[in-house]
Amino acid sequence: MKIINLISDMQKESLEARQANKTIGFVPTMGFLHEGHATLIERARKENDIVILSIFVNPLQFGPNEDFDAYPRDIERDERIARELGVDYLFYPTIQEMYKDDRTTLITVQKRVDVLCGKKRPGHFDGVATVVMKLFQITMPDKAYFGMKDAQQVAVIEGLISDYHLTVNLVRVNTIREEDGLAKSSRNVYLSPLERSVAPAIYQALKMGKQRLEQGDSILQTKELVESYITEKTGSEIDYVEIYSYPGLKEIQKPEDGDGLILAVAAKFSKARLIDNIVFSYTKGEN
């Protein structure tokens, strides 16, 4: 594995790979790698000649009340994991390298951001879109791999690719779950033993909501069912339960109004806020 810190060096390697007709799979991360990242890397390894992993804690996507300096970092551990997973290039730039001078432009995301988690994080997805655009230009990938646990981020980046006619193909990778269905997350360690034992009810509620929606329940009925089930089973505080079209993330009156649907949840426990979702194509009458 080759570690690269300079944009010019990464572009040179990527260009040479493309000229040699080698396919490039790209996995962008902010480091502190976990099993979800490993799944993205393994998928990229299977589908491409070259795998590039980036680690960059992007200051543009942190809000004023979000502690950029406290974000977990362990580059030696990340390097070891990347090597074990067969990464070819680890792109690890500094902030100064990525944002050398005063910026003359900033990508502003106008849609898909004023709902779900983005509703309370103004400007967050502007920072995401800006850094992803830069990383795409630096690594020149054929495919880029993103996990569906953050389905809103995936929707925003798919919009970016479409709007700017980028040639990269975004590959959606299903959420990685524990055996009991709980979405894997670094935040899970903050759950008490009791909270951890009841947290799988979130995914159970999502599956139940999907089934009831397809059996004919209205959007309002489904949202109420999911919220009441999670509250009753976990005792957590519901931040939101929402159903939108996907990837457009638009409000809909009936489930058949969306080409695809997302049923998404955020629930607050004593020391952790967990998010989860199901993205699916609606077909009335399925069980």
Residue whose entry in the numeric block shows the structure tokens 């998928």: 43
Mean pLDDT (whole number) for 96-112: 90
- Lowest-pLDDT range, 44-58, 180-194, 202-216, 222-236? 180-194
Query: How do beta strands 169-173 and 237-245 pair?
Result: unpaired
In the chain, where are the structural domains located? 2-173, 186-280
pLDDT at residue 286 in the model = 47
Active site residues: 37
Q: Where are the alpha helices (DSSP H) in 24-183?
A: 35-47, 75-84, 95-98, 124-139, 151-163
* Residue 98 labelled as part of a binding site: no
- β-bridge mates for residue 197, sequence order: none
Task: Name the band, by pLDDT with cuts 50, 70 and 90, for residue 106.
Answer: confident
- pLDDT tens for 61-85 read 988 877 788 788 889 999 999 999 9
Homologous superfamily (CATH) of 186-280 is Pantoate-beta-alanine ligase, C-terminal domain (3.30.1300.10)
| pLDDT of 34 | 87
Residue 186 assigned as binding residue: yes
**Domains 2-173 and 186-280 are alike in CATH topology:** no
Better pLDDT: 14 or 287 = 14
Residues 6+ apart with CB under 8 A from 274: 183, 185, 187, 188, 199, 202, 236, 266, 267
Does 165 appear as a known binding residue?
no
* pLDDT for residue 141 is more than 90: yes
245 is in an annotated binding site: no
83 known member of a binding site: no
- The annotation status of 179 as a binding-site residue, yes or no, is no
Residue 48: what pLDDT? 98
| Alpha-carbon distances of 157 from 129, 152, 187, rounded to whole Å | 7, 9, 24
Q: How confident is the model at residue 187 (pLDDT cuts 50, 70, 90)?
A: confident
| Range 49-54 average pLDDT | 98
The CATH label, of 3.40.225.10, 3.40.50.300, 3.40.50.620, 3.40.1280.10, for the domain at 2-173 is 3.40.50.620
